[in-house]
Structures are given as structure tokens and as C-alpha cells.
Amino acid sequence: MSSTFHISACPVCSSSQFTVFTEVPDWLVSKEAYTISQCNSCNFKFTSNAPTAENIGPYYNSEEYVEHSDTKSGVIYSVYHYARKLMLNFKLSKIKKSTEGKKLLDVGSGSGYFINHMKQNGYDVTGVEISDKAVELCKDKFGIHAKNPEEFLAGKLDTDYDIISLWHVFEHVYTYDEYFELFSKSLKKDGTLILALPNSDSPDAKLYGKYWAAYDTPRHLWHFTPDTLSRFAEARGFKVVKKYRLPLDPFFNSMVSASYKPGFTFLPISVLKGLYSLIISFFNKEKSSSLIYFLKKK
């Protein structure tokens, strides 16, 4: 039992009353079954039997888990590389529009595509990355040396960042309170915290159920919705000031989810499901497959 990460109080509302929401296998690596529980009081969903931080390492050992590789071939990966370029410009435009200042810390910077793009556009960037392989790739490809999370957690980085960003990273973080304290300490008074997260309340999550790629158990511990993220942040001294949809995520999520389903997968059907999810999000942003939240200290 000690190898399981146990949650006794809801990270959003502190309630200890939970109900099993669904069982989701680890489609990517171990094929083991994981439980997603839901708080009876605030509806926050979380993976309730994930391995501990010390034991999660092997669950990241998948070729497919890596945004890091440029050597992949095939349709999905060609689309993915093109999509990455589009998304880098999309992120830059939203950041330019909704933040002040150019000193940026990216936590979970991976192989560095985002920080490199921001650097090329005049930002003073620092990356934090746990994977040695990704740190190496980032250094080789872009000449940027990302820091180890230990340095960040020890409070050794600067305390005057204008922007701290985590792109699809916070859902993996075990010590969420420690991180939020550091966000608060490391940001300027009027700085912006940016969290990009999947939305378990999206149409594609509902269409695919346990096959939904963004449940990604046991690597994703927290399955936020706009409501629970907002409450989670409020309880830690931050408020959501702006939300954007990530327009390509419904397609990517739908295609990967379809590939987990047994039997024949017809690609255009999953693309249509992605399109359906995107269209719904144009009517109601709260239903976006993934959202970018811009937060400020209260």
C-alpha cells in the first residue's frame, strides 16, 4: 500500500468523502487499471491509486510519451510537428495579448520548443525540467540549459518573474501546494501564472469515456474542469483572469483516444469527433478539450 499515492482530503475543498467515478487503464505503458475518484462535495476528480512520486518513473518510459523526438515518421507525427509550430505561435500571441513583461519561467519545459520560441521573440527565458533526456535535447538543439526542479523547489531561482507557465504539466504534479507557494513567491506582484490543462468536462472526454487520452492514468493525477481549477486556485491565493481554448487539442485527444479503442479505427471519424468538440467549445468555452488559464495573485 505504501507504494500508492493516497489522497485523504480533497485538494479543492478538503472533504474526505469520495465516490468512484470510473476505472481507466494505463493504455500507454503498464495496462494496469486505475481508479478515478470524485469528491462528493465539489466534484473534483483525481486518480486515487496512482503510484507514489518515487515509483512513477517507469510509467513515463514510453516512446509515445515524448514530445521530444523529431525522428518519428507517419501521418500523426507529421501533423503533430506542423501543429506544434502553429501552437507555438498561438501561445505567443495569447501571452503577448494578456501579460506584461518578458521574464518567463517555464516549468516542465521538455525539449525546449516553447522556451526557444519565446526567446527568439525577445523573452528572457528559464526552463525547469525533470527528464535528463529532455534537458540534453534542449541543450543540444537550442543551446538552452534547463534547471532541475530541485533548484526551483529549493527556492534557488529568481523571485521576479513576469510569467510562470506550465503547459500540460500541473496535472502531473504531486506536491501541488508546494508548487503553488513557489508560484506565489517567484512571481512579481502583478505577474501571471499560466496553466494549460485538459478538461474532463469536455465533449471528447464524454464521448471517449475510459478511452479518453487525457485521463492518461496514472501519470495524470488531477482531472480539472474550469470550475474545480478556479476553486483550487482561489484556495491558494490565485484567481483566474482569462481563459483560452487550445484549438488543436480536441483533434489530438480524439485521435489518440480512438487508437486506444479495440478494433478498427477509422481516422476521419475521430477527426469529426474532435471537430464536434471544438464546435461545442465555440458556444461554451468551459467545454473546451483543454484550456489555458491565466491567473493572477489575489
Binding residues for Zn ion, per CB under 5 A? Answer: 10, 12-13, 15, 39, 41-42, 44
d(CA 190, CA 233): 16
Three-class DSSP category at 12:
coil
C-alpha cell at position 202: 469536455
End-to-end Cα spacing for the chain: 39
CA dist 15 and 221 (Å) reads: 17
Given 3-state DSSP classes, what are the helix, strand and coil percentages for the chain, each rounded to the nearest 5?
A: 40, 25, 35
Closest CA to 10 of 228, 201, 169: 228
Using an 8 Å Cβ cutoff, are 298 and 238 in contact?
yes
Q: How far is the CB of 148 from Zn ion (least distance, A)?
A: 32
